[in-house]
Each structure stands twice: as structure tokens, then as C-alpha cells.
Amino acid sequence: MKIEQIYTGCLAHAAYYLESKGEAAIFDPLREVEPYIARAKKDRATIKYVFETHFHADFVSGHLDLKKKTGAEIVFGPTAKPGYEATVAKDNQIFKVGDYQVKVIHTPGHTMESTTYLLLDENGKEHGLITGDTLFIGDVGRPDLDQHVVSELTEEKLAGYLFDSLRNKIMPLDDNLIVYPNHGAGSACGKMMSKETTDTLGHQKKVNYALRPDMTKDEFIKELLTGLTAPPGYFPQ
């Protein structure tokens, strides 16, 4: 499968480029979109989709600029309410990029619209997961950001949603899947992310504290909320 991680170290941010048969998709682009456009031109590919795993708090996304410059369709996961033209996908909806498939898996918790995208190759084989801020390498997304925008969403409620998303949507998937997260060590979106920027899901099940199989929901919530520092002041904006 032709997928590339485009990592920006100063933001500890990972965007992704997917290409098949002259069609491309960008996941979680930064505001500076020329590198993505140039990458697609190198393959003589047309950017068909811009997939957003969630509304980002730590950077301004380039999705609107990519749509304007390339005509790409912006896709968000379920429950998203964008104030501009975009597709709000349904859970389990399939999008085609050339011979590849991108399956929507709604994984609320970090935010309510947070979505993981399951990538399937030209043979229909599951290859990897673009997890956004739902699952990092060594950590999971902090659940205290949406409450600054929607008051009734307490961090405890969001942490409970994240527990269910991880247990019911992510952990049952194949151990051989590659996890492609939105951030690495240094980001304020988690508290103990690894310096590694990809891993297998099976290895994360063994080493990621938040995926411990015998952890109860109450234990998960307590452990996840312990040690969180205050988010940067601009995040709610």
C-alpha cells in the first residue's frame, strides 16, 4: 500500500498521503498545503479527498485550502458539524481512493467527532489505521479539550467514550495493523507519547498503558485524567 507519513517535528504532527491509480487522499493536513499538492503532482495524481480525524485544537488545518486549490472533498466523521461544505460520513462508510478503500470507524472520546480510518489495500486486505488523536504510540488522546467548547462534555464523560471506542472499535482489530497516529512525542494532545511515530496494533496492545486488557472503565478514567497539565490557552479557539 502506498501511504506516506509527512511529519513536522516542530509541531510533533503527522499528516498522511495515500495514493492509488492516480487518486490521492490527504489526512489531517497542516495549513501549508503546497507540499501535499507537490507530492500528488509527483505521482500525477489528483487529490480526491481530505480526511479529517477530528477538529484540531493545536494547529490550523489546511483542509479548506486544499479544497479551494484542488477541488478535493473534505470528509469528517459522524456527529461533526462543520460550518462549511464538507461530507459528514456515517460509521462504517467506505470511500474509494483508486484501488484502495478507506473505512470510517467512529471513535469518540478525544472529541465527539473523532474518527479512525481503516485502510484496505487493492486486495481488500486491512493494512493500517489512521487514528488521529484517538490512539497514539504509547498513549491515547487527552479527553479534556472538548469540554472547553461544549460545557456538558466533562472530561470524565469523554474519557468514558474513549474507553468504549478503544475496547469496542480498535482493540478487536487485527494485531498486524499499522497504527498511524496524528502526533508523536512533544505534542500537548497526550501526556506520554513515544518518540516512535508508527507501530503495530498488536505491540501497542502489549505496551500501551491505556490498552491494558484487564483495566476497568473507572481505572481507565482515573489513570487517563491523572497528570494532565492545563491545555495551552489557544486550544479552545
Q: What is the mean pLDDT of residues 17-46?
A: 97
Q: What are phi and psi of 28, to 5 degrees?
A: 55, 60
* Spatial distance between the Cα atoms of 159 and 163, rounded to a whole number of angstroms: 6
CATH topology classification for 3-225: Metallo-beta-lactamase; Chain A (3.60.15)
Task: Give the tens place of pLDDT for each residue, 93-134.
Answer: 999 999 999 999 999 999 999 999 999 999 999 999 999 999
Three-state SS at 48: strand
* Beta strand spans in 100-162 (E): 100-106, 115-120, 126-132
For residue range 88-99, list pLDDT tens digits in order.
999 999 999 999
Q: What is the pTM of this model?
A: 0.92
pLDDT in the model for residue 56: 81
Long-range contacts at 206-209 (CB < 8 A, ≥ 24 apart): 207/138, 208/135, 208/137, 208/138, 208/139, 208/140, 209/138, 209/139
Q: Calculate the alpha carbon distances from 140 to 161, 184, 185 in Å.
A: 12, 11, 12
Domain ranges in the chain are 3-225
pLDDT at position 76: 98
Q: What percent of the chain has pLDDT over 90?
A: 77
Which is nearest to 74 in space by CA: 96, 106, 52? 52
- Kindly list the distances between the CA atom of residue 32 and the CA atoms of 29, 73, 184, 187, in Å, as whole numbers in the listed order: 8, 18, 19, 19
Query: Which pLDDT value is given to residue 12?
Result: 81
Between 171 and 148, the more confident residue is 171
Rounded Cα–Cα distance for residues 8 and 151 (Å):
32
Residue 190: the pLDDT is 56
Return the SS3 of 170.
Answer: helix
pLDDT digits (tens, 9 = 90+) for 182-225: 987 665 555 566 678 999 999 999 999 999 999 999 999 999 99
187 φ/ψ sector (left φ>0, alpha ψ -120 to 50, else beta): beta
Coil/strand/helix, residue 161: helix
Helix (H) or strand (E) holding 153: none
Hey, how many other C-beta atoms are within 10 angstroms of the C-beta on 62?
23
Is 179 or 192 the better-scoring residue by pLDDT? Answer: 179
| Mean of the per-residue pLDDT values of the chain | 91
